[in-house]
Amino acid sequence: MISLDGMSADEIAAAGPQRLRTLPQHDLLTLAGDWLGQLAPWRDAETLAAISTSLSAESVLSSLFVFGDQVAESEARAQVPGPLLDLLLRARVLTEDAGKLSADYCLVRGDGLVLLAAWRAAGRDTGSYAPWVGTDSMTLSRLVAARRGVRSALDLGCGTGILGLSAARGGAEVLSVDVNPECTAATTLNAHLNGLAGRLTATEADIMSLSLGSRFDLVVSNPPCLPLRRGSLGWLAGEAGLDGLEFFWELLRQVPRLLTDAGEALLQAAAYGDEHGPFFVHELEAELRRLNLSGRLLLRPSTPPRWPAFAPRDAHQQLTGPLGDEVRAYVTSIGATHYYGFVLSARRTGEGLEVGRFR
Question: Domain coordinates of the chain in residue numbers?
Answer: 107-357
Average pLDDT over residues 48-53: 57
Alpha-carbon radius of gyration of the chain: 21
> CB within 8 A of 211, min separation 6: which ones?
none
Q: Are strands 259-274 and 338-347 parallel, antiparallel or unpaired?
A: antiparallel
Rounded distance, CA 16 to CA 173, Å? 23
Angle at 214 between CA 2 and CA 4, to 5 degrees: 15
Decide which of 140 and 38 is more confident: 140
Tell me, what amino acid is at 73?
Answer: E
Rounded distance, CA 89 to CA 21, Å? 18
pLDDT of residue 123: 43
Average pLDDT over residues 237-260: 90
Q: How confident is the model at residue 27 (pLDDT cuts 50, 70, 90)?
A: low
Query: Does the domain formed by 107-357 have CATH 3.40.50.150?
Result: yes
pLDDT at 321 over 90: no
Task: Report CA-CA distances (Å) from 219 to 138, 152, 158.
Answer: 16, 9, 11
* Helical H segments across the chain, by residue range: 9-15, 45-49, 57-65, 73-79, 82-90, 135-145, 162-169, 181-193, 246-258, 281-290, 321-334
pLDDT at 235 over 50: yes
Query: Taking the complete model, does pTM exceed 0.85, yes or no?
Result: yes
Q: How confident is the model at residue 122 (pLDDT cuts 50, 70, 90)?
A: very low
Average pLDDT over residues 113-118: 88
Residues 129, 226 contacting (CB under 8 angstroms) = no
pLDDT of residue 119: 75
Rounded distance, CA 183 to CA 235, Å? 14
pLDDT at 126 over 60: no
Residues 229, 239 contacting (CB under 8 angstroms) = yes
pLDDT at 45 over 60: no
Point out the least confidently predicted range of 53-57, 287-291, 300-304, 352-356. Answer: 53-57
